[in-house]
Amino acid sequence: MLQAPAKPAFVDTAVSYARDARAAVRDIADQLETSGTCFLLVFVPDGLVLDDLAMALNAQFAGLPVFGCTTAGQITPQGYETDALLVLAFPKAHFRCATHLVSPLKPLSIKEVASDARRLSAQFQRTAHWSRLALTLSDGLSKQEDMLVAALQSGLEDMPVFGGSAGNGLNFRETSVLHMGRFHSNAALVLLLETDLQFTGLGFDHFLPTNKQMVVTDALPEERLALEINGSPAAEEYARLVGLRVDELSPQVFAENPVLVRNHELYHVRAIQGVQDGNALSFLSAIDVGLLLTLGHGQEILRTLHDELDVHGSQGKPPDFILGFDCFLRKLEIDQKDLTGPASGILRRRRVLGFNTYGEQHCGVHVNQTFVGVAFYEPKRRTLH
């Protein structure tokens, strides 16, 4: 197995490949020294029994806050993986946290979520010279992330919000978030962080708009389901635009031929999950009648990954680590093109740690097929007077 670069200084990591939850937690415990830990963040591969995992974590790390979610893949110190239980330990010396569980997530009251977020922030005592950000992990099958992130952005005002939707491999059966010793479906975790580390937000994809446009002419918005595009059955019209038959459509086709929505000067991906009921298209983001969609064309994904992760802090140094929320469709495209090795090499060198999502949250918007992250740098030196 390839060796990772030097470990980050401001977060500790542990990885287990055991398929039994109890054995996996024992592996993790052997790798971590948790006496100075503020909280653990756990990214769970498909296949582990969640109740067993929760019980084992509670027993092994009693008294220590543990949060996390199920995933569609993990980004470990080795790069892209699919069967790794990844645990990040955030130290008290550099992090403080406050949390809130939004449950049930569906139905969702924007007013109530914004109010709860505002109250959580107000009750979270400030530390001098430290900065704040919010992370959100949400049920990736809830179809509520668009409203959730809008509500959080409203309640938290100028506090930046970053996050990812929990996954379930490529199964799309059930996704869960971990909070207060239990896994919850139809829920979202809101995690406020305070840190003395410098940080910057990242958000990028590798698509440009083409001249092929389409209008959603019939839809079920609450189900994120497009029934008709350009007055024709949605799957048939999309297949025609990409030069295929409906029975040739697949996750790989959707990953390489996404549809984009324009927001001011920027285009965001509205990823297609699959064909439903013969000719409808199921989406991973909000869809509605009258929405103008543009077919996207991919740029070189490795070059984009390399260039966009090449960031530096105010002192000119690269990040100590990058917490990454990377869409599973990006990983699917990379796997399909046999680029997993080179992509993992870039992630290792940039010290990216995180998971593959069913959707990403950034700048108050729920997006797809995007890499969203937070680059953490060493604390800024303060001048004494």
Q: Using H for helix, E for strand and C for coil, what is the string for 256-320?
A: HCCEEEEECCEEEEECEEEEECCCEEEECCCCCCCCEEEEEEECCHHHHHHHHCCCCCCCCCCCC
Identify the pLDDT of residue 385.
47
Identify the pLDDT of residue 3.
53
Are 326 and 356 a contacting pair, CB within 8 Å? yes
Identify the pLDDT of residue 159.
96
Q: How far apart are CA 239 and CA 258, in angstroms?
A: 12
Amino acid in position 363 = C
Identify the pLDDT of residue 294.
96
Identify the pLDDT of residue 1.
47
Identify the pLDDT of residue 255.
87
Residues of the chain with pLDDT under 70: 1-5, 382-385
- Please write the tens of the pLDDT for every residue from 207-232: 999 999 999 999 999 999 999 999 99
- Please write the tens of the pLDDT for every residue from 26-57: 999 999 999 999 999 999 999 999 999 999 99
Identify the pLDDT of residue 278.
87
Identify the pLDDT of residue 306.
97
